[in-house]
Chain A
Amino acid sequence: MTAFDQTLDQILTLAATHFKVPREKLTPDDDFFKTLGIDSLQALDLLTKLENHFKVELPDYELQGVSDFRTLASRIQSRL
């Protein structure tokens, strides 16, 4: 598994745990707003979870237009 794949996998697991969604229902190219059923404030919760877990800072404007886990993982990966 590449470093990127590991990051993506951890994001999917964190999102599933935090929003109480079965992990197997989440796939990398899902629109996380739709799959998780979340709004923008909850997306900020996800951002905080990810920042705390990966110990990175991800300015929220970098998430503008981002709605799938794969792109989110690439944004996180670029800060690791």
Chain B
Amino acid sequence: MDHFEGKSLSWELKDGVIELALHREPCNEIGSLTLVELEKFVAALEGMAGGAHALILYSKMKAGFSAGADLRELYQQAQAMERSAAAAGVRDYLERIHRVMNSIDALPLTTIAAVHGVTFGGGFELALVCDLIIADKMARFCFPELRLGLIPGFGGIPRLKRDLGNAVVRDLLLTGRSFNAIKAQAVGLVSQVVAEDQALRVARGTAAQLGKFDRRTSIAAKQFIKPIPYEELRREIDLFCELFAQPAVEEGLRKFVESTDAQPYLP
């Protein structure tokens, strides 16, 4: 399927480049609907990858690339279930999202995240599966999970560890603070910082350039340089599930969901 228009995302294969656009109000919160459509995308990739050399992920939402996991849905579903059923549901969700993330991470294409604005939590983790991140200078990156009593659960820590020095990972994870695009480029996370609203244009130009190279060589180079940390990803799921069972998480989620504070996104 070379073209798809879903409720939370859409994709199109054109001139050897697959563009995956996120467009769920308000800021591409990743919940069950997005997961189903991402799974559909990964299934469709088998048919598309042969005719493509690059994939671009971007957001059509003004606020940013993605604010991360849909915490309201997570909280409501957890409230509606027995604790053991909620824990099993969370594990199942994580197993599924990890399959999606691992598939995109390992794609035999060069993948580019074109990001702007809020790139938080699960949204940050989605960007991290890509080979390159091109950031609008208004982009911000953050792992706010600790304030909920959790760790990032979509593969963020192992992938960040793969790409950056451990001190930077600790800074992002343990303080929960956000980095702007310039800082993110300085630490090696972001490939290019561009003017406002220019990330997608620059990503398209980069994708066109990649199309000039021999595809088999590009795939071989990617496989050589980009190992997927499967063992750590597995441990991340276990640790997330262990932490999810703690009472602090329910309290943290409740506080976030019921907050009337003007600053729920600030730690």
Q: List chain A positions with a Cβ less than 8 A from chain B.
A: 33, 39-41, 43-45, 47-49, 51-52, 57, 59-61, 63-64, 67
Measured in the bound complex, the distance between the Cα atoms of B260 and A33 in whole Å is 13
Interface flags for B233-267 (1: CB within 8 Å of A; 0: not) read 00000000000000000000000000001111111
Q: Which residue of B lies closest to A64 (CB)?
A: B266
Candidates A48, A57, A60; contact of B266 at CB < 8 Å? A60
Across-interface contacts of B178 in A (CB, < 8 A): 44, 60
Q: List chain B positions with a Cβ less than 8 A from chain A.
A: 27, 63-64, 67, 117-118, 137-140, 142, 175-178, 180-183, 261-267
Candidates A41, A49, A59; contact of B118 at CB < 8 Å? A41
Asked if B263 and A63 make an inter-chain contact with CB atoms under 8 angstroms apart, the answer reads: yes
Across-interface contacts of B181 in A (CB, < 8 A): 48
Measured in the bound complex, the distance between the Cα atoms of B142 and A43 in whole Å is 15
Q: Which residue of A lies closest to B147 (CB)?
A: A61
Asked if A40 and B176 make an inter-chain contact with CB atoms under 8 angstroms apart, the answer reads: no
Asked if B140 and A40 make an inter-chain contact with CB atoms under 8 angstroms apart, the answer reads: no
Asked if B63 and A61 make an inter-chain contact with CB atoms under 8 angstroms apart, the answer reads: no
Across-interface contacts of B137 in A (CB, < 8 A): 48, 52
Across-interface contacts of B177 in A (CB, < 8 A): 59-61
Q: Which 9 A-B pairs have the closest CB atoms?
A: A59-B177, A40-B265, A40-B263, A61-B267, A33-B262, A48-B180, A60-B266, A48-B138, A51-B180
Q: With A40-B262, A40-B263 known to touch, is A59 a contact of B138 (CB < 8 Å)?
A: no
Candidates B63, B139, B175, B183; contact of A41 at CB < 8 Å? B63
Q: Which residue of A lies closest to B178 (CB)?
A: A60
Q: Which residue of B lies closest to A61 (CB)?
A: B267
Across-interface contacts of B182 in A (CB, < 8 A): 51-52
Across-interface contacts of A40 in B (CB, < 8 A): 261-266
Distance between A14 CB and nearest chain B CB, rounded to angstroms: 13
Measured in the bound complex, the distance between the Cα atoms of B265 and A39 in whole Å is 10
Measured in the bound complex, the distance between the Cα atoms of B67 and A60 in whole Å is 16
